[in-house]
Amino acid sequence: MRDRSVFFVAFLEQDNLGVGYIASILLQNKIDVKIIDFRAGKERILQQIIRHNPSIVGFSIIFQYHIDDFRDLISYLRENRVNCHFTAGGHYPSLRYTALLDMIPDLDSVVLFEGEYTFLELAQLIFSGKEWKQIKGIAYRDNGSVTANPLRPLEENLDNFPAPVRQPFKEYALGRKYATLLAGRGCYYNCSFCSIREFYSKPKGPVKRVRRPEMVVREMELLYQEKDCMVFMFQDDDFPVTTRREKDWTARFCELLVEKGLSDKILWKINCRSDEIHPELFKLMRDSGLFLVYLGIEHGSDSGLRLMNKRMTAETNIRAVTTLKKLNIRYDFGFMLFHPATTFQSVVENLDFLVKICGDGSSPITFCKMLPYAETRIEKELRSEGRLKGKPGFEDYNFLDASLDRFYSFMTLCFGDWIGKHEGLLNTARWTRYYLLVYSKYYPKTSAFRNLDKAADEYIAESNMLFIETTRRLVDIFSSQRDRGDGYEVLKTIRSDVAAKHSYYKRKLIEIMNSVGSLE
């Protein structure tokens, strides 16, 4: 007989608060829960499922482009006689449940949108052996077709949820542990490449909800006191600094951190937009422990920002970065150098923009290609134009100029390790900055520290400019079609030079991290 237990398979690199909140609701209702990292591998996951003998296995498919990996895992589990109820959740499963059930026929159901109460009801009915197909907020197969039941409304008061289940706390830097948490859910904006607004608009309820600041600070206080966490990474899609009411929320949040004596003891990071950077408010946030802001900058031209429906200008992005620099708040950023309307001219404009914001080494450079995620405006436009290619869940597109496709392919080949690998230069540079930021919070800023801090900026600036100047050369080669002729040998040399410089800058930054550690 199966246990009254649930087993989750999820990406856990920085926790998975979606699964964590569902797990906390289940535990509150006396249901045993186990969570394993998807990256543990099929054999390990199978062993753990057999050991715990759950009645339900839930798969958190938060990355659309990993569907095949989940399908292979689920097929493997079925082949090895795991015959309990399989369900899945996440953005893509919720927005494209029919396609997902077609792609992964071994699934029994999909939990749609926010899953706390839906999953609880599903589990209780399955445990009791009762019919489960009538509950709100699920999709399933019925006589060869897919049925989706009416959606469950969103929980308007997020503080009704117990604190999420978290994995064992990991070190952030210099022995300081970190925790992820949420101030709220949802986003007011509707960027053309993002499905978050669509995800929160389908069920009834407000598209953005924010917890009480007292509850957020209390959660941080307990994590600090009981788990020795000192670094807090807010995973909100957009931290509450948009409306007048939200600015008041953040001011109260900072006031509470000071009252609780936490502002001098902790560090915290947020995600927000460039047009939400207000000097006075962010100075208050900095003085309350804010040390890092992730900005969705995305593009360096007004035309590109209009295509993305960002509703801001390039000058707004520059002003935001300038403000953060003046306040001595570090920033990371997202940047889509490539999108469906990219031209060689737009690439050059973006490179000019990147020089302005991070040519000084204030943040390591990054780039990506806009992907047509499910139910985004970009996906719909590309489909209507006949430009989408690939199977459901894995769609992509070609650029309007074939030479841009070759250029993008070479950029990916040349800078793939730099940008995409966990041990690549982008990640190494970011962690070097994090080590320095943590040190500056908890230790005196000696001359040795200041020299390391300056050296890190210089190496990051040099590597940023290497990226920019190399990309300019590649634009010249590919736009003139020379990549197909005498430029072939030049491209080989460029790739070799980038690889050598990549190794060099990584080594120098790792040396700085090691030196920071020795200063303690």
What whole-number distance in Å separates Cα of residue 291 and Cα of residue 268?
A: 6
pLDDT value for 3: 65
Within 10 Å of residue 421's Cβ, how many Cβ atoms?
A: 13
> What backbone phi and psi angles, to 5 degrees, belong to 461?
-60, -45
What whole-number distance in Å separates Cα of residue 136 and Cα of residue 117?
A: 9
pLDDT value for 283: 98
Q: Are 269 and 234 in contact (CB under 8 A)?
A: yes
pLDDT digits (tens, 9 = 90+) for 163-181: 999 989 999 999 999 999 9
Give, for 248, the enclosing helix (H) or strand (E).
helix 244-259
pTM over 0.85: yes
Out of 3.40.50.970, 3.40.1080.10, 3.30.1360.200, 3.20.20.70, the CATH code matching 169-357+364-398 is 3.20.20.70
pLDDT digits (tens, 9 = 90+) for 10-40: 988 778 999 999 999 999 999 999 999 999 9
Distance of CA 96 to the CA centre of its chain: 20
For range 302-324, the mean pLDDT:
96
What whole-number distance in Å separates Cα of residue 338 and Cα of residue 350?
A: 10
Report residue 326's pLDDT band, with 50, 70 and 90 as the boundaries.
Answer: very high
What whole-number distance in Å separates Cα of residue 278 and Cα of residue 285?
A: 10
Within 10 Å of residue 139's Cβ, how many Cβ atoms?
A: 22
**Among candidate residues 103, 58, 94, 96, the one with its CA nearest the CA of residue 77:** 58
Give the residue ranges of DSSP H helices in 314-446. 314-326, 344-358, 377-384, 402-420, 425-442
pLDDT value for 287: 97
pLDDT value for 268: 98
What whole-number distance in Å separates Cα of residue 431 and Cα of residue 486?
A: 40
% residues pLDDT > 70 (the chain): 99
Strands 176-181 and 170-173 come out as antiparallel
pLDDT digits (tens, 9 = 90+) for 463-516: 999 999 999 999 999 999 888 877 778 999 999 999 999 999 999 999 999 999
What whole-number distance in Å separates Cα of residue 104 and Cα of residue 494?
A: 43
Alpha-carbon torsion (259, 263, 267, 269), positive or negative: positive
CATH 3.40.50.280 in the chain is located at 5-148
For range 230-255, the mean pLDDT:
95
For range 323-335, the mean pLDDT:
97
Report residue 62's pLDDT band, with 50, 70 and 90 as the boundaries.
Answer: confident
Residue 237 in tokens = 């899609």
Please determine, looking at this structure, whether the domain spanning 5-148 carries the CATH number 3.90.180.10.
Answer: no
Rounded to 5 degrees, what angle do the CA atoms 377, 148, 375 make? 5
% residues pLDDT > 90 (the chain): 92
pLDDT value for 2: 56
Does position 233 have pLDDT exceeding 80, yes or no? yes
Does position 442 have pLDDT exceeding 90, yes or no? yes
Rounded to 5 degrees, what angle do the CA atoms 418, 325, 433 make? 40
**Among candidate residues 154, 159, 136, 250, the one with its CA nearest the CA of residue 207:** 154
Does position 240 have pLDDT exceeding 80, yes or no? yes
**Residue 162 neighbours by CB under 8 Å, 6+ apart:** 24, 25, 27, 28
For range 381-403, the mean pLDDT:
94
What whole-number distance in Å separates Cα of residue 169 and Cα of residue 223?
A: 10
What whole-number distance in Å separates Cα of residue 134 and Cα of residue 509?
A: 57
Does position 331 have pLDDT exceeding 90, yes or no? yes
pLDDT value for 141: 93
Average pLDDT of every residue of the chain: 95
CATH 3.20.20.70 in the chain is located at 169-357+364-398
